[in-house]
Chains A and B, each alone.
Chain A
Amino acid sequence: MAANTYLQVSELDFSEIRSNLKTYLESQTALKDYDFEGSVMSTLLDVLSYNTHYNAYYLNMVANEMFLDTAQQRDSVVSRAKELGYTPVSSVGATAEIEITFSGVESGFAQVIIPKNSKFTTTVDDVTYTFVTPQAEKVDADINGAFKKSIIIKEGEPLSHSWTASASNPVRYIIPNSGVDTSSITVSVQESSSDDTVTEFKLASNINQVYSTSAVYFIEETADRKYEIIFGSGSLGKSIKAGNIVTVNYLVNNANATNGASTFSVDSINLNAPYDSATITKVVSKANGGREQETVESIKFAAPRNYQTQNRAVIAGDYERIILNENADLQSVVAFGGEEASPPQNGKVLIAAKPFNEKFLTTSRKASLKDSISDRTPLAVDPVIIDGDYTYLIPRITTFYDLTKSSLTESAVEADILNQISEYSTNNLQRFGNKFRYSRFVRTLDNAAGGYIMNNDAKISMQKRITPNTEAVTSVEILFNNAIRPSTVTSTQFTYNGFTANLDDDGSGNLRIFRYTDDNTIVIIDTNAGTIDYNSGRLFLPNFALTAYADLELKITVTPENLDVNPVREQVLLMEPNDAIITVIGEQT
């Protein structure tokens, strides 16, 4: 049979499908009324076209959901990511570090144990949230017999769910709650209701180390944002037998709802020793790091990249991606080989991390970060977690705005300039590798005050804030890592040889310590207190013997030679509105 050239099947839209059907009907004479809207033929054409269009749309959507790039449904994206060996990150409750002190502990106990899931509470916006200890903590009595320790607590409600395995009716171990923090999951398997032998199963993080007897479980996200525990088949991981009782303990969290919480109270602690009271004596670090379950967009971005690295930390980017992906409390991470450090540290990978809303990680947090990455690094490579090196940019801005066009007061313009500085800092600085680009900064300022700024004269200084030892003579090295304009070093006041002194440079590479007399005359106390390399931006004070300094930190300020400032390695640029010096001048044009 010859092909019917009147029948076009390439269109997908309703109107085009209908038009093709009409074209086809034009080739026959038995039924002619297809052109009139009231005819039965016209109604039939509508139904046929609608049906065809519906199927075409449906098939298009089905095809879209089959690929990671085009899938829209979360379940489809998760399923595609699963093929790449990627498990989306679950929501995580905020973590805080508190110092807890027990009083009245019965004598005879040299150590007490705070059990896992001991409860604490905090209130945010009139809602009370539960924090728990994610693991048991041992507290030793100090030399005075006091029981005091800094511990990590994590937001979440501890829950438990059990299933009994059955051969005839296979069980899917889907955790019934949403908002589960997968890092909090523990899995135990009891032999049977009559045999109370319990085996703890661990998360299989490295498939190469899973054998037929390995008591491991796998975890996958399943429908409706829930998680499913998968057990081994018997050859790859120990299998579950009929009659086994599987118990899963986990935390159900409120994601980022408690970020920033800084007041906690003890709810219930069943210590192994009788005691009078438990008091939170200090909040070492307020709650942070709570975050929502990974979004569809993030899964689409991360899954292929995770596949590329095969979950191994080999190059610098691997460390950054893995650590950032697994730690919601970190804003920015940078990793580099120890040979690039100053001084070089061969055989090490240095990883600097900046938490959200904080500048430094606690010692325990650094240790946990190191543990989390250690099993994925090449042999003979030692990961070292270091703090960021913060350089503050101090803007001095003179703003001229048009009085004839703007009714804003000078203070309102100043407030807007401060907002722009804050916004610029949030969006363009505060992360490793983010450069300060002068022209962009000035452009941001020019857009303040509704566009009525005529021009901004912005001058930028770089500042380091250090806490030098006041008890002993120490060497101090300060690295700006950017060229410094000679004769621009200044500092806040400090006490040196009994004088209130300051630091400056002589323009020839020497750092000097000087003081002011009562009539404001400068008297040099030490003409050669240290050296300054104007090209590399390095200040070195080999024997800095100050005995006190003003405020909490000693601030040393220089003017960069160039307008732009480039941070290197672990250096982070910060610009805080409080440091800005702003002069606003209204002009009649």
Chain B
Amino acid sequence: MPNHSNGAKLKVREIYSDVDLGFFAHPVTGNVSKKTNREAVRQSVKSLILTDYYDRPFKPNIGCGIRYYLFEMFTPAVKQQMESAIRETIANHEPRADIINVLVEERQDVHALVVSVAFMIINDPDPVVLDIILERVR
């Protein structure tokens, strides 16, 4: 928590607050730990990108469908489609994030794709960069 020059602690205002997806227990209180503000939005964007259509009950249209592309030949066209899908998903379902850039790159050495999403959070001057590594599990 940041300190003022006079030594008083500055309490950061929680605009956004969410449960930590890992459901870790807070080391002191024992409560489920939280994600707040930038981290909460970052977690939300990551969740949306990794959600497939029909994953959520009664909400078939929420998701990005990015996993389907992992079984395609990685051509420039597929790369473009993946980037578009990610942009569209975030634009549709995450109003707090304003996309700056989406980049999908292949990492042949580890047989993976790296998705980099740069976005601004509304009312926050600093951009957020989120890197997600997509791998085939088998």
User: Are B93 and A37 in contact, CB atoms less than 8 angstroms apart?
Assistant: yes
Q: Which residue of B lies closest to A37 (CB)?
A: B93
Is B44 in the interface zone, CB < 8 Å from A? yes
Q: Which residues of B contact A46 (CB under 8 A)?
A: 56-59
Give the contact stretch, choosing among A28-36, A384-392, A473-481.
A28-36
Whether B93 and A39, one on each chain, are in contact in the complex, defined by CB atoms closer than 8 angstroms, is no
What residues make up the interface of A, taking CB atoms closer than 8 Å to B? Answer: 14-15, 30-33, 36-41, 43-44, 46-47, 49-50
A33 to B21 CA separation, bound complex (whole angstroms) = 13
What is the bound-complex CA distance between A468 and B107, given in angstroms?
Answer: 103
Contact B57 A41 (CB under 8 A): no
Contact with B47, one of A15, A32, A39, A49 (Cβ below 8 angstroms): A39
Binds A, one of B11-19, B67-75, B80-88, B98-106: B11-19
Contact A37–B18 (Cβ < 8 Å): no
B residues 16-74 with Cβ under 8 Å of A? 16-21, 34-35, 40, 43-45, 47-48, 51, 56-59, 62
**A interface majority secondary structure:** helix
Beta-carbon nearest neighbor of B62 in chain A: A37
Please judge, given known A-B contacts A36-B44, A37-B62, A38-B48, whether A44 and B56 are in contact too, CB under 8 Å: no
With most chain B CB atoms within 10 A of its CB, the pick from A14, A31, A47 is: A31
Q: Is B76 close to A, CB under 8 A?
A: no
**In the bound complex, CA of A40 to CA of B44 (Å):** 7
The number of chain B residues with a CB under 8 A from chain A is 26
- B58 & A38 in contact (Cβ 8 Å cutoff): no
Chain B residues, CB < 8 A from A30 = 17, 34
Q: Which residue of A lies closest to B93 (CB)?
A: A37
Q: Are B34 and A39 in contact (CB under 8 A)?
A: no
Instruction: List 4 A-B pairs, minimum CB-CB distance, nearest first.
Output: A38-B44, A38-B48, A50-B57, A33-B18
List A contacts of B96 (CB < 8 A): 36
Q: A36-B96, A38-B43 are in contact. List 18 more A-B contacts (CB 8 A).
A: A30-B17, A30-B34, A31-B34, A32-B14, A32-B17, A32-B18, A33-B40, A36-B16, A36-B44, A36-B93, A36-B95, A37-B59, A38-B44, A38-B45, A38-B51, A40-B19, A40-B20, A40-B43
A36 to B93 CA separation, bound complex (whole angstroms): 7
CB distance from B50 to the nearest CB of A (A): 10
B94 CB within 8 Å of chain A: yes
Listed A/B pairs (21) with beta-carbon separation below 8 Å: A14-B58, A15-B58, A31-B18, A32-B14, A32-B17, A32-B18, A36-B44, A36-B93, A36-B94, A37-B48, A37-B59, A38-B94, A39-B43, A39-B47, A40-B19, A40-B20, A40-B21, A40-B47, A41-B18, A46-B56, A50-B58
CB-CB under 8 A for A32 and B16, given A37-B62, A46-B58: yes
CA distance A50 to B34 in the complex (A): 24
Contacts of B57 in A (CB 8 A): 14, 46-47, 49-50
Contacts of B19 in A (CB 8 A): 31, 40-41, 44
Residues from chain B with Cβ under 8 Å of A36 in the complex: 16, 44, 93-96
Bound-state Cα–Cα, A584 to B16, Å: 84
Cα of A40 to Cα of B59 in the assembled complex, Å: 15
Closest to B51 in A: A38
Instruction: Let me know if B58 and A43 touch, CB within 8 A.
Output: no
B56-A33 in contact (CB<8A): no
Q: Chain A's nearest CB lies how many Å from the CB of B6? A: 28
User: Closest CB-CB distance, A421 to chain B, in whole Å?
Assistant: 54
Closest chain A residue, CB of each to CB of B57:
A50
Which residues of the other chain, B, contact A39 by a CB distance below 8 angstroms?
A: 18, 40, 43-44, 47
Q: How far is the CA of A50 from the CA of B55 in the complex (A)?
A: 12
Contact across chains for B17 and A38 when beta carbons are under 8 A apart? no
When chains A and B are docked, how far (Å) is the Cα of A30 from the Cα of B15?
A: 11
Measured between beta carbons, the chain B residues less than 8 angstroms from A32 are: 14-18
Distance (Å) between the CB of A540 and the closest chain B CB?
A: 78
Write out the residue numbers on chain B whose beta carbons fall within 8 Å of the beta carbon of A15. Answer: 58
Q: Which residues of B contact A47 (CB under 8 A)?
A: 57
* C-alpha gap A49/B18 in the complex (Å): 18
Give min CB distance, B27 to chain A, whole Å.
Answer: 18
B18 neighbours in A (Cβ, 8 Å):
31-33, 39-41
A40 to B48, CA, bound (A): 10
- Are A43 and B47 within 8 A (Cβ)? yes
Q: How far is the CA of A15 from the CA of B16 in the complex (A)?
A: 24
Contact B94 A33 (CB under 8 A): no
Complex-state Cα separation, A14 to B58, whole angstroms: 8
CB distance from B61 to the nearest CB of A (A): 10
- CB-defined contacts of B58 to chain A, threshold 8 Å: 14-15, 46, 49-50
Taking the closest CB of chain A, its distance from the CB of B128, in whole angstroms, is: 14
Q: With the chains together, A328 CA to B58 CA distance in Å?
A: 48
CA distance A15 to B58 in the complex (A): 8
Provide the residues of chain A in CB contact with B16, threshold 8 Å. 32-33, 36
Q: Are A38 and B93 in contact (CB under 8 A)?
A: yes
Interface centre among A40, A43, A46 (most CB of B within 10 A): A40
Q: Which residues of the other chain, A, contact B44 by a CB distance below 8 angstroms?
A: 33, 36, 38-39
Contacts of B51 in A (CB 8 A): 38
Query: For A44, what are the chain B residues with a Cβ–Cβ distance below 8 Å?
Result: 19
**Docked pose: A41 CA to B36 CA in angstroms:** 12
Closest to B97 in A: A38
Report the minimal beta-carbon distance from B65 to chain A, rounded to whole angstroms.
15
